[in-house]
């Protein structure tokens, strides 16, 4: 949560990390987008997710699903599939998580859910019902930083908040993460310093730095 909040702040977004059923609805109503992260699940959080999604629908707020480690737990996978049927704008996960949600992969999941699928890994791919975008190569050392996937999903939500086309928003978010990591890597001695330089690069990022265009085949 700390890394996710700092990544959003570095980009100029305002994070709120509420998971309490009693007030999460108020935060969602005041927000421009919602990110549902399944990283830490318990009964109270499920109630909070339901309240958050009901509020998002009432206020027409776009939302992003991060199906963290659904490949490990059948119960978590089934719950994530239920959420996929509640109109997420984007589902952001790694290849294993996306495969766990659909044996047909990202294209089938996009068709079944109506969501844009942002799949991250050695090569990031954004898939919709109309095509896909290839974002290039991630910095491998990012996988050594706890929570980077969660932070990436939050950046997708931030982009969805300001770009109504979820496909463009997801592609933009992954390009932002990849560009910042690529610029940070030469300055880093390891994962710890990479995290620091990564935040700095996100903070200083401007449109001219996004020189690697997303490619739509």
- Higher-confidence position of 207 and 92: 92
For residue 65, pLDDT over 90 is answered with yes
Average pLDDT over residues 152-179: 96
For residue 100, pLDDT over 60 is answered with yes
Is residue 206 helix, strand or coil? coil
Cα(84)–Cα(8) distance, integer angstroms: 24
Q: Report residue 206's pLDDT band, with 50, 70 and 90 as the boundaries.
A: confident
pLDDT above 90 coverage of the chain, percent: 86
User: What pLDDT does 216 receive?
Assistant: 46
Q: Report residue 214's pLDDT band, with 50, 70 and 90 as the boundaries.
A: very low
User: What pLDDT does 107 receive?
Assistant: 96
Average pLDDT over residues 19-34: 96
What contacts 145, CB < 8 A, 6 or more positions away? 3, 191, 194, 195, 198
Residue pair 97/67 in contact by the 8 Å Cβ criterion: yes
Q: What is the pLDDT of residues 185-200, one digit of tens each?
A: 999 999 999 999 999 9
Domain 2-209: state its class. Answer: alpha beta
User: What pLDDT does 211 receive?
Assistant: 62
What is the pTM (predicted TM-score) of this model? Answer: 0.94
Q: At what angle do helices 74-84 and 43-58 cross, to 10 degrees?
A: 10
For residue 215, pLDDT over 80 is answered with no
Q: At what angle do helices 166-184 and 148-162 cross, to 10 degrees?
A: 130
Tell the burial category of 133 from Cβ atoms under 10 Å away from its Cβ (0-12, 13-18, 19+). buried
Sequence-separated contacts (24+) of 188-197 with Cβ below 8 Å = 188/141, 190/141, 190/144, 191/141, 191/144, 191/145, 194/139, 194/141, 194/142, 194/144, 194/145, 195/3, 195/145
Q: What is the pLDDT of residues 110-136, one digit of tens each?
A: 999 999 999 999 889 999 999 899 987
User: What pLDDT does 143 receive?
Assistant: 87
User: What pLDDT does 139 receive?
Assistant: 80
């Amino acid at each position: 949560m700390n890394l996710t909040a700092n990544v959003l702040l570095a980009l100029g977004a305002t994070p709120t990390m509420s998971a309490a059923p009693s007030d999460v609805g108020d935060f969602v109503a005041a927000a421009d987008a919602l990110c549902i992260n399944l990283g830490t699940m318990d009964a109270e959080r499920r109630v909070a997710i339901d309240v958050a999604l009901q509020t998002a629908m009432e206020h027409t707020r776009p939302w992003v699903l991060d199906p963290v480690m659904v490949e490990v737990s059948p119960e978590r996978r089934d719950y994530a599939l239920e959420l996929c049927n509640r109109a997420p704008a984007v589902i952001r996960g790694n290849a294993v998580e996306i495969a766990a949600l659909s044996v047909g992969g990202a294209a089938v999941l996009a068709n079944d859910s109506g969501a844009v699928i942002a799949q991250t890994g050695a090569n990031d791919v954004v898939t919709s019902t109309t095509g896909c975008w290839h974002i290039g190569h991630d910095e491998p050392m990012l996988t050594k930083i706890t929570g980077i996937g969660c932070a990436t999903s939050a950046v997708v939500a931030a982009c969805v908040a300001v770009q109504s086309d979820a496909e463009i928003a997801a592609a933009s978010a992954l390009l932002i993460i990849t560009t910042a990591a690529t610029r940070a890597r030469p300055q880093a001695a390891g994962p710890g310093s990479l995290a620091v330089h990564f935040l700095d690069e996100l903070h200083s990022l401007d449109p001219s730095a996004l020189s690697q265009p997303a490619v739509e085949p």
